[in-house]
Structure 1
């Protein structure tokens, strides 16, 4: 197999989200073919699924001439990646792109920056996640039972400093950072077999790697396409690092490297992040020109980028991209209205449907359009308990693990009010599921039925039923203050910690949730925290609950199963997820005499018969099942556990549209009608806008944007 691994059964939810247009929104200008948007017509939809041949002639940006570089033909691979989008056309070189990045912890942690660049990924998603196409690798194949995969990488790939890429750059990540020894990173689920053992990587030659598991791994191509990769694990697995540069900061190759080299914020993190270290080579279309954690990042063209347009133009077209840090959401929106922002994707930058009306009033003076892409979201603004809080507090932990308690909270939430205030009555009410675009929801015969059952399972609002469930547990108001206490009379308060950079609409949702819980007699209290402390304490199992996130998907749930089964510490069972993540490293054999929170990292083994143990067991079977029909049946069993023993996470609104703001002079940016599912912005593992190759965007009048 050299191009497409499989076509999902999904033919779905885009109509629900993409067909919804707010009255105040854009006129759809970017969907219509015109003189300033070649290739932008609505008749050119999606991506081709056959690899395109190398153009007869390769051109480069005039800005690179006279820079002392080798000829462009020598800077790109023998077989460069040719962008497959039907909606793109020939562009123009030049100009700068002004972007904003919202966050309270600085440019180093701004997710919107990382989600832009797909250049470090072995494979890539096409057609909003329906298909898988080539990336750094141009060919891949498996044996009969999919327990062995051979991946061939493009010959002639070069890092941004001109040094050759080889499979040693992958083995460096795997052998020197992941495998037992340093354990600076944990292995991604794709590299753990159904028996919990690590994949074996074997170098065939400089451009070919063989991956071998002790169980089948049928979804490996999709897993290779997830996230943007090439970073430090924040937006997905790392996979590839420039060994020729970074080995000087690794103790295996340099005995002078300090012992704390891999601690958070330490030497390795500073040097290995290409977005903040101008000296660190990258394979993306842009490299770091300057970095300031407080003010932002400036990126410049990578002269060795391995991607070209269909006419032979080496990408990117735009000379520079600047991301200016913003800590105030209202100031950010004002800059958009003033025309000081060229592109803004809503989710990462605190721009929501609530802002569309205001932004629309100024779109002509600000010279921008507003597009509505499909979010692919299964929850909207979310709430969930720490299922592993029992390791910190046994009394509260047992209560949280009682499904009746979680069901009472869910039934007490007035989701209609949330949908109205946050999503302007767009999308569908939901208890909270995996994203509606998940392939297994659309597989017959059980998929559609199970989706509806899960969506409606504890929807509410039903305050009386919620109160009855609390009473059934033995919770009652013993002191007459309107709130229930524990059965022994001890006070009961549900803490809702939240990051200080929370957006106002989601803060309003949380306040509504607190008020809704008061109606059923449950005392809920919001607790502000610094963004950095919030993330660290959550993964360490210290926090009682989590709020203000979302759950989206657009592929098979087995590709990124984080919400379905605890395999990632950022989700609803962080300590049991850490146990799974360390199952292949040997760490779980250590520190067994210590309490879960005292281990390094904090982790705990699932209890026999517990829903997490059942989910983990089914996941181990499903991830190795090559027959898609049998695999769906196993996934459906996992759905049933969420329905019967959940909810483990709670949402409010699914499948709502997300606003995208775009300067009218910016071309080769698709409108929702150009894309297979109307665009998909919610799932981090189908990175947007990276999947639409921002490197091919260009200015119709670059001289005005220089």
Structure 2
């Protein structure tokens, strides 16, 4: 998901704080993250290790060590020895910044929601493959090795031998087939096939398990992005499940257990309640920590998994930390107090309401709290966006919205520098609105770099006079002399800046500045807060004109999660046309042909023949079945060119702004921006942060001083 509302602060950012905030941010470079403004020389989280992660397979350690608490259980006979709990070939952490650590201690932090999947974003343990080096490389995970045929229609996954669930039961491919056959393919269960289960033509794969450690996937057309998609998201977290502990879950499934109630697969049924391992202490996991206790709306505690299948290069079974404690704090001001009063000992701001405007306050309390401000790159294509609904229900306004000149004029009327200064403290790079500047397609060669630059700068220049000239040319002029421009036919023109009524102030303040800029060229622009309940339905039915409270977070390449690039679903800039893409090739494509597009089930409409969306679809369809990576990059460049000539569809502000990480002086192995291959890639959910940096390797220099604690 791309909405970063959870990150953004909820206290109004005052313009008077901008100058001070900019100075503070300047002092938060990687080299100075561990220090303070007063000259403190504490090393903090900064490491002198090499940048990035090794991509070659790491050697298996000759011997293994374990937590003292687990060693005690082994000695008493309650646990088997560590060698028997680990797989034959454990995953060896390849990060260059990781050093040998110490066992013990607790991370105590805050989060805004006990029901969300944010806790799982700390744990990569269920993932089949893993992204390394900020998404530039794909590495083994549970899958030890994999291969495909030349045209990427056949994929074979070879899993590690000896992996065990947290209750000690063996993991096998039966756990994947249970998910696939008894959930995904079971019409009684709502689980849907993930992207990686479909070929480039959208047809469902055929999956078999030849043995306990092998999965074979067969597609009717090339599926070249399979490996990327097996690495993205957190499996059994914010992403698709891909497995369930069959030995535990089958007791709640009617196929395996008699007497299971008929509502087993509904919200009232036990099946889906029991499978949510982040809230159910009884549900086995493969992650470094397992749920120890769950108090809804208060606290969630995760305890060490004695069977975790990952180790350090010197053979230490991970995790080092005994527990993760998430204190649920919905109030943004209380979250900030927890940090400034030292009631927590770590914080990843992406899951809170702490934002860049809070850095000054956080820096002022560093000496007392020992929480140092660390910054990771977001890697996003833009912070707070504006995008018009290309399928807006009112015909005349829809026609104007679809006129590229209208959107180009509004882009040139947008003073992005003001927003960058007021909201993002002069961080990031100004942009018209694009996919991620860190996208692989934009760094593969000089042509890719130029394509990105052309897109970024296409309608970036702040030029109100040019904006007025373009509007005049398309007949959007002030016909009645009231200072406001009308539509070409003389009717009133009003632009609604629609947003969730509970949106973070980041979005609201941006909207206020944007409305000011558009009003200055004669556009009657008004802020329109909308109740969050039903917002999504109003959007996909074409009832909302704009969406102004999202950001473009996307993956390490533009095709692994292309919804911002190409309308293929109903939540982004062309919802009804995106929905039509989903029914192509199905019986629904030819149904309801005589029904108004807005009254169809689901609402959907065909794109204009030969128009930009149809051209984007054709290029995207080619990319899905193109096994040659360079040719896929070139297809992306062609899509970008359509965004330039027929856009902009995304009105961004600035890309790649920082994410705050508060790291205690005593905590080690937390990477700094300088340790990371690209400085971080924190914004996209599909590149799960901080899981990709393996928090299981983090440790306390003095673990006895960081035991059970934190505010409840």
**TM > 0.5 fold call:** yes
Matches of 2:626 and 2:270, distance apart in 1: 41
Does the residue aligned with 2:645 lie in a helix, a strand or coil? helix
User: 209, 212, 215: which is aligned to 2:218?
Assistant: 212
User: 153, 158, 164: which is aligned to 1:152?
Assistant: 158
Larger radius of gyration: 2
Matches of 2:396 and 2:275, distance apart in 1: 43
Where does residue 83 of structure 2 map in the other structure? 73
Moved more, 301-310 or 693-702: 301-310
Where does residue 485 of structure 2 map in the other structure? 484
Aligned length: 677
Determine whether 1:107 maps to 2:114. yes
User: 117, 138, 148: which is aligned to 2:144?
Assistant: 138
Matches of 1:246 and 1:282, distance apart in 2: 12
Does the residue aligned with 2:66 lie in a helix, a strand or coil? coil
Cα deviations by residue, 1:538-587 (Å, 9 ceiling, x for unpaired): 46665432223322456221222222113454433344444445668876
Where does residue 85 of structure 1 map in the other structure? 95
Determine whether 1:95 maps to 2:105. yes
Cα deviations by residue, 1:158-212 (Å, 9 ceiling, x for unpaired): 2223332222332333344444835724433333222221222122212111112
Q: Shift in Å at residue 266 of structure 1? A: 7.2
After the TM superposition, which residues 485-634 of structure 1 pair with which residues of structure 2 at under 5 Å, given as runs?
485-531=486-532, 533-535=534-536, 537-538=538-539, 542-553=543-554, 555-581=556-582, 602-634=603-635
Matches of 1:602 and 1:257, distance apart in 2: 37
After the TM superposition, which residues 223-234 of structure 1 pair with which residues of structure 2 at under 5 Å, given as runs?
223-231=229-237
Where does residue 354 of structure 1 map in the other structure? 357
Query: Normalising by structure 1, what TM-score?
Result: 0.87
Q: Shift in Å at residue 689 of structure 1? A: 0.8
CA contact (8 A) 2:477 2:488 kept: yes
Q: Shift in Å at residue 363 of structure 1? A: 0.8
Q: Shift in Å at residue 691 of structure 1? A: 0.6
Are residues 488 and 514 of structure 1, via their aligned partners in 2, closer, same or farther at CA, if it must alter by over 3 Å?
same
Cα deviations by residue, 1:395-437 (Å, 9 ceiling, x for unpaired): 4433332322322332221101011112222222110111111
Where does residue 464 of structure 2 map in the other structure? 463
Determine whether 1:441 maps to 2:442. yes
Matches of 1:583 and 1:260, distance apart in 2: 32
User: 309, 316, 324: which is aligned to 1:313?
Assistant: 316
Determine whether 1:120 maps to 2:123. no
Does the residue aligned with 2:622 lie in a helix, a strand or coil? helix
Matches of 1:23 and 1:527, distance apart in 2: 35
Query: Normalising by structure 2, what TM-score?
Result: 0.87
Moved more, 418-427 or 341-350: 341-350
Structure 1 residues not aligned, in runs of 5+: 1-19
Does the residue aligned with 1:174 lie in a helix, a strand or coil? helix
Matches of 1:364 and 1:642, distance apart in 2: 48
Determine whether 1:376 maps to 2:379. yes
Q: Shift in Å at residue 590 of structure 1? A: 6.7
Cα deviations by residue, 1:572-613 (Å, 9 ceiling, x for unpaired): 334444444566887667776765556665555545323222
Are residues 586 and 165 of structure 1, via their aligned partners in 2, closer, same or farther at CA, if it must alter by over 3 Å?
farther
Matches of 1:291 and 1:310, distance apart in 2: 33
Moved more, 201-210 or 326-335: 326-335
Structure 2 residues not aligned, in runs of 5+: 1-22, 708-712
Are residues 693 and 265 of structure 1, via their aligned partners in 2, closer, same or farther at CA, if it must alter by over 3 Å?
farther
After the TM superposition, which residues 118-517 of structure 1 pair with which residues of structure 2 at under 5 Å, given as runs?
118-179=124-185, 181-182=187-188, 184-231=190-237, 235-250=238-253, 269-390=272-393, 393-477=394-478, 480-517=481-518
Matches of 1:239 and 1:539, distance apart in 2: 29
Q: Shift in Å at residue 537 of structure 1? A: 4.8
Matches of 1:366 and 1:39, distance apart in 2: 14
Q: Shift in Å at residue 507 of structure 1? A: 2.0
Are residues 649 and 186 of structure 1, via their aligned partners in 2, closer, same or farther at CA, if it must alter by over 3 Å?
farther
Matches of 2:593 and 2:251, distance apart in 1: 35
Where does residue 702 of structure 2 map in the other structure? 701
Are residues 500 and 365 of structure 1, via their aligned partners in 2, closer, same or farther at CA, if it must alter by over 3 Å?
farther
